[in-house]
Amino acid sequence: MTKMLLVSAGILFVLVAVLTLLSALSFRQFSIYTAERHARSVAEAIKVGLTESMINGTIGKRQQFLARLAGVPGVNQVRVTRSPAVISQFGPGLPGEATTKEDVKSVLATGREVFELVDADGTLVFHAVIPYVASDQGLPNCLQCHAVTAGTVLGAVTVDIPFAEVRRQGAIAVVMISAAVLIAALIALAVARRMMNPLSQTAHTVREVTSRAVGGDFSGRVRRHSSDEVGEIAVNINRLMEFLEREVNTIRTRVGQLMDHRAKEGGNQLAHTTELVESLVEVSQFKQAIEGDQTKREIYQRLADTLQGKYHFKRFSIYEVAPSKNRMTAISIDGEAGATCRHCDPEVMIDAGSCRARRTGHEVNAVEFPGLCTMFRAAAAGDTHICLPINQSGTTSCVVQIVVGGVEAPLAAEMVPFIGVYLREAGPVLEAKRLMEHLRENALRDPLTGLYNRRFLEDYVGALVSSSQRRKSPFSVLMLDLDFFKQVNDTHGHEAGDKVIKTMADLLVRSLRASDMAVRYGGEEFLLVLTDTSAETALTVAEKIRAEIEATKIPLPGGILCKTISIGVSEFPTDADTFWQVVKYADVALYKAKSGGRNRVVRFVPQMWDAEGSY
């Protein structure tokens, strides 16, 4: 508003200056015009006087007449100069009526008037030289006395009018006008300032209030200085600030509750609220992404990427808890999948209860409470950690550990609520994926033995054959069947039969490598797949299994039971180039083992398969 007043004042002063200049010019022109009219009047009076003197015969006394005219106020000098035509007719006349001045000569020669301002001995004078031209009109007629033609210049009248007084009076008038205009302008500015003062104060306060609002502080208010439109602006600004303060505080509080985050006092509350909302949006996008993931591993990888990419943590651990076994599995260590425990005592991997976050189900913040967990192992002095559990259905299913140095620790503590939102959203999805994997695992495993079932084998065949063909490595299929198993059920009951089956399954698992696979193919029938194994090597493994089963004693309520097993062996792709044909050939070899006396291992040979494909 001050700028507006300064601009207005500048404009007014320019107008005053322009008006003063125009007034001065106008007065000057008016003064010159007045002096010119005055000079013409004097010249006309002289012409009339001289004409009357000639008619009355008193032309010889014309000098007294001119002297009287020169004494009229406002006239300094009056002089008459004869033209050459008059001099030639009447003589040179009185002294002074002949002149050598160039302006008079020019007027006598051309008949053109001369008006100019001249400096006469330091005094400004309006100097006028007006020609006296002969005319044949009216009475008396100039041609009656002068032997000239009409239009001949008879003489020139020189009139000097003092101009200093005129200029002084004009200057006084201009000063008075300028002073009046200036006073009016000052009064107008004062009135304008008084009228604009409420607007100026309101604008200044609005600037302060809005500046604070930009910084997130909406507590500022604008004082109402008037009841006009400016006052309404103040009222509306206050309403807006009240609304923003109330709503931003509400949004910040509600979002803080969602994130389990206590809003900080002070600072830019708007920016802080925006940060919280943006975090919720990112978390929502994160949840949509993990809901589309197929496995828990993918979700854990997204968590690791978030810790590394968004929050720039370089050292962290993600552990999965197996409640049934009370053990923890390292999922990601410093972004490395499947790495060994690095920042904790390895005991937590064996006994999950030794992990404080797992045992209590609460955050372990060693930044605020150093030494809170005794299982933490610092790699360097000043290292500390924060452990965040993911709880579902009252139990801890996952623990995320963040390891930071002393300088990073305060910032890491501030990031905990934000990371906690990601973990809370990931928890139900992880639980759902875990449940789906469990259900799928149960659907693909035999409930009695824990071995894979035929359904899993059907799903696994494609990958098995493709891997073998890609690596150009054979695999062997073993078909196993307990000898005289029906007698066990008939003699000792089905519980005893189940125990025999389970004992056989445990022995098979112990006899195989991690890369091999055991399947319960039927009631007492099993199928083994030995990867990267030829038939000759498979025969050795089969014979070892047969011998161990034969030597195994199974305790039953009625005594000790010993069983034997028959085994048929075939090889892919030597015997057949399709998996199920290899299985059929192993079954043919099993039949030969049973028909040959049982408790033996038989390798399939083509002679066992007749032309009709029977055996």
DSSP reduced 3-state for 406: coil
pLDDT at 344 over 60: yes
In the Cβ-directed half-sphere of 52, how many Cα atoms lie within 13 Å? 8
pTM of the model: 0.50
Provide the pLDDT for residue 475: 94
Closest residue by Cα to residue 358 from 315, 338, 329, 378: 329
Residues of the chain with pLDDT > 90: what percent?
20
Least confident piece of the model among 155-159, 500-504, 534-538: 155-159
Residue 607 CB partners (closer than 8 Å, separation 6+): none
Provide the pLDDT for residue 474: 94
Least confident piece of the model among 127-141, 291-305, 568-582: 127-141
Q: Which two tokens stand for residue 601?
A: 């291992």
Q: Which two tokens stand for residue 368?
A: 């605020």
Query: Which domains can be identified in the chain, with CATH numbers?
Result: 2-168 (3.30.450.20), 216-292 (no CATH), 293-441 (3.30.450.40), 454-608 (3.30.70.270)
- Separation CA 238–CA 215 (nearest Å): 17
Q: What is the mean pLDDT of residues 110-124?
A: 80
Confidence of residue 438 (pLDDT cuts 50, 70, 90): low
Provide the pLDDT for residue 588: 93
> Mean pLDDT, the chain, as a whole number?
81
Buried residues in 389-401 as b, exposed as e (16+ CB within 10 A): bbbbeeebbbbbb
Least confident piece of the model among 13-22, 230-239, 254-263: 254-263
DSSP reduced 3-state for 481: strand
Confidence of residue 480 (pLDDT cuts 50, 70, 90): very high
pLDDT at 611 over 50: no
Per DSSP bridges, beta strands 525-530 and 517-520 are antiparallel
Largest CA distance in the chain: 190
Q: What is the mean pLDDT of residues 288-297?
A: 85
- Over residues 47-106, the pLDDT tens digits come to 777 777 677 766 666 666 666 666 667 777 787 877 787 777 777 777 666 666 777 777
